[in-house]
Structures are given as C-alpha cells and as structure tokens.
Amino acid sequence: MFSFIVKKKLHQARLSELTTPHGTIPGPFFQFVATQGAIRGQVMSEDMEALGADIMLANTYHLHLRPGEDRVAAAGGLHGFMHWDKPMTTDSGGYQVFSLGDHVKVDADGVTFRSPLDGSTHRFTPENVIEIEAKLGPDIIMPLDVCTPFSASKEEVEKAIELSTQWAKRCKQKQEELQSPQALYGIVQGGLYPDLREKAAKLLRDIGFFGYSIGGELQEKGEKEIKKIVGSTVLHLPEDAPRYLMGYGKPEDIVEAVRLGVDQFDCVLPIRNARHGQIFSDLNVEELTRCLTEPDYIIDPKKLYTLIDITKAQFADDQAPIGPVNAVMQKPYTRSYVHHLMRAEAPSGMRLAVLTNIAFYVGLMKEIRGVIEKEGV
C-alpha cells in the first residue's frame, strides 16, 4: 500500500517515488498547504489537479477545532470532504498548539489548550491525535511532538526530545492498534544543536517510522545555520525512507535542501505571499541545473528566479503576462490587469496571483526532478 524508492541520485539529491493509496508522488515534491481543507485565494481542488499538484497538506489542530474530525469523517475523510483524489498529509497540529504560549499546559501525558475561536478547552495526547488523524483520513500523518522555540536552552531542548520520543512511541502504538491505512512519520527536533538532532534522529530510527520529518522554526534562522542543521540531521536518517523538511519554502531554500538529500517539503509561503501580491516567475533552468550539479555552487535567488510585488505602481502599465498560460489560467492575463485587480481588492486578483505561484512551484519541482533524472545515476 505504501512504498518509497530512490531511483537516482545526483550527489546527495534524490529522485524518488512515494506510493500511497491515492497515487504515486514523484520526488522531490512540494505539499501545498490547505490548512483548513482549502487553498486560500478561491482555489479549488480541481484547480490544483489541473495545475499538476500531486499532494496537499491540511492541519489537524485547525480541522479539530473547526469543523471537527467527525464531520470530515462523515464526508469520507479529507479526500471526500475536499473532492481531492490525490495524496494528502496532515500535520499533527503540535506546532500550532505550542505557539499559543501561555494558553498551553504541557504534562507527560499530553497538552491542554484553549481554542482561539471560542475559548473552549481541548486536550491533545499522542493517542487522540492519531485517532483524529485516522478520522481525517490523509495518507501521511505526523505524531504529536514538543516544539521548542529557538530561545530555549539546550537543557530544555533535550527534555523536549525525551518527551517527544515517548509520545512518538505512543503514537506508533496507537496507529498499529487502529490499523489505519496511513504512513506515520517521526519528527526530528533538536533546535540549533547538531548533537541533539543526531540524538533525536537515532531515537526515532530505533522506534521505526515510514518517513522522517525535520521540525523546528528553521525558517527563522540564517542560511548557513539552516544548512548546518539540515545537513547534519539528514546524515542520521535512513537512506530508504522519505525525508521531509517541514515549513520551509523559498525556492532557493528548497534547492539547497534538495542538494542535502531532502525529498519532501511544505510551506505557506507561495500562497500567503501571492495573497499580498508577491509573484514568483521566470525560473532559470540553466541556473537551477548548475545549482544541482555543482553542490558547492552558491545559490543566488536573483539568478534563479524573479520575484515581483504586483501591487507596486511600476506594474500599472506592464502588459507582460503575469505567468505562462496553463490549464486553469487559459488567457495571458497581464501584470497591469492583476495590478489593477489587487489594488481594487477584487478577489479575482488574489486568485490569479495564487494560481501563478502554484504553477511556478509545480514547475520548480518538475524541473528539479528533471535535472536529477538527466544528470544523476
């Protein structure tokens, strides 16, 4: 039902295939974030399919609070609820829970928190998170873990790893008990400490998971710090399992992580930025090829792609198309037109911007796979 194979390697970059009950995903791949069961910006599942997206990611925390996992289950799980027939992932919601700060109480058994929607009290344990995810019905699921801020001391991070490891064991035991047809990943935490990342990775390997995620607020750190942490973590993950870098999504960062051996990504960035007028375009395939074939080559985002703020006045008279015509955007809508729509706060402007960024990211991952396919062994 689930399988993962590495077909080719280009240095450390991997061309892979991840097979799920809802289809096979070529890797490296990007998961578009449908936090509450939808892509923001008036984008529907049929749009995602037409654009070539292979997988989406929803959030257990948000769906538990609204509309509730039982309502989703009654619709046939997320696939039926969203009318999406391709693979789905859910995050456990641990990151969102721990971001609530003073509204969270953690103990050895789980975490208690208040809903920001209505103030009601909720309880997450390793077991009931797996039960919630089973009802939501995605293909790939994450365990409940302890997310520490980067301001945490090394001692605090180490204690969090110990608790997360206990929770990971309990999550796996509950999933085996339920016999749910889902692939459970382990999440490697450890902050900015390579030795703790190594410790966490080895502890999770001993438990055994289908895949392994690299967690933490890495996007808040500098490029060198991120490269050090991701690179040192990947060294301790199994070769025959998918590696998932969570919440990490600038094009240049994806390319860097692919060079380090990461297979799977997600981030709100392409959708969120589009809603505020930031458009990705003009991927330089020649530059991308050099980045992947020369592992020490310094990635320059300005050479790799173009990023524009379509709301700026300089685009008011720009008659260049916002992006290539595709299966959803079948007309060459101009930068001038989208600029006008965004300034007028017309929903169609946001939709066109979001669709453009989705198409760019689908194309980025396709080109990455193409380079590894052509140049790898």
CA angle 350, 352, 358 (to 5 degrees): 100
Residue with tokens 């295939």: 17
Whole-number Å distance between alpha carbons of 284 and 294: 16
- Rounded alpha-carbon distances, angstroms, from residue 377 to 6, 209, 257, 373: 11, 27, 19, 8
User: Of the listed 47, 91, 139, 253, which one is catalytic?
Assistant: 91
CA angle 261, 130, 171 (to 5 degrees): 70
pTM: 0.97
CA-nearest of 191, 180, 183 to 69 is 180
Residue 266 bears catalytic tag: yes
Are 336 and 319 in contact by the 8 Å Cβ rule? The answer is: yes
pLDDT at 220: 63
CATH class as words, domain 3-268: alpha beta
pLDDT at 99: 82
- The structure tokens listed for 264 are 């799977």
Report residue 230: phi and psi, to 5°: -65, -45
pLDDT tens, position by position, for the chain (377 residues)? Answer: 999 999 999 999 999 999 999 999 999 999 999 999 999 999 999 999 999 999 999 999 999 999 999 999 999 999 999 999 999 999 998 888 888 777 789 999 999 999 999 999 999 999 999 999 999 999 999 999 998 887 889 999 999 999 999 999 999 999 999 999 999 999 999 998 999 999 999 999 999 999 999 998 776 666 777 788 999 999 999 999 999 999 989 999 999 999 999 999 999 999 999 999 999 999 999 999 999 999 999 999 999 999 999 999 999 999 999 999 999 999 999 999 999 999 999 999 999 999 999 999 999 999 999 999 999 99
- The structure tokens listed for 106 are 């953690």
The DSSP symbol for 148 reads P
Q: Which class for 255: exposed (0-12), middle (13-18), buried (19 or more C-beta within 10 A)? A: buried
Whole-number Å distance between alpha carbons of 192 and 189: 9
**Three-state SS at 125:** coil
Q: Which residues have C-beta within 8 Å of that of residue 330, sequence separation ≥ 6? A: none
Residue with tokens 């980025």: 364
What is the residue-wise DSSP string for 90-110?
A: EE-SHHHHHTTGGGEEEETTE
pLDDT at 222: 67
Whole-number Å distance between alpha carbons of 31 and 291: 22
Residue 139 bears catalytic tag: no
Residue extents of the structural domains in the chain? 3-268
Alpha-carbon torsion (50, 347, 55, 238), positive or negative: positive
User: Of the listed 54, 139, 253, 266, which one is catalytic?
Assistant: 266
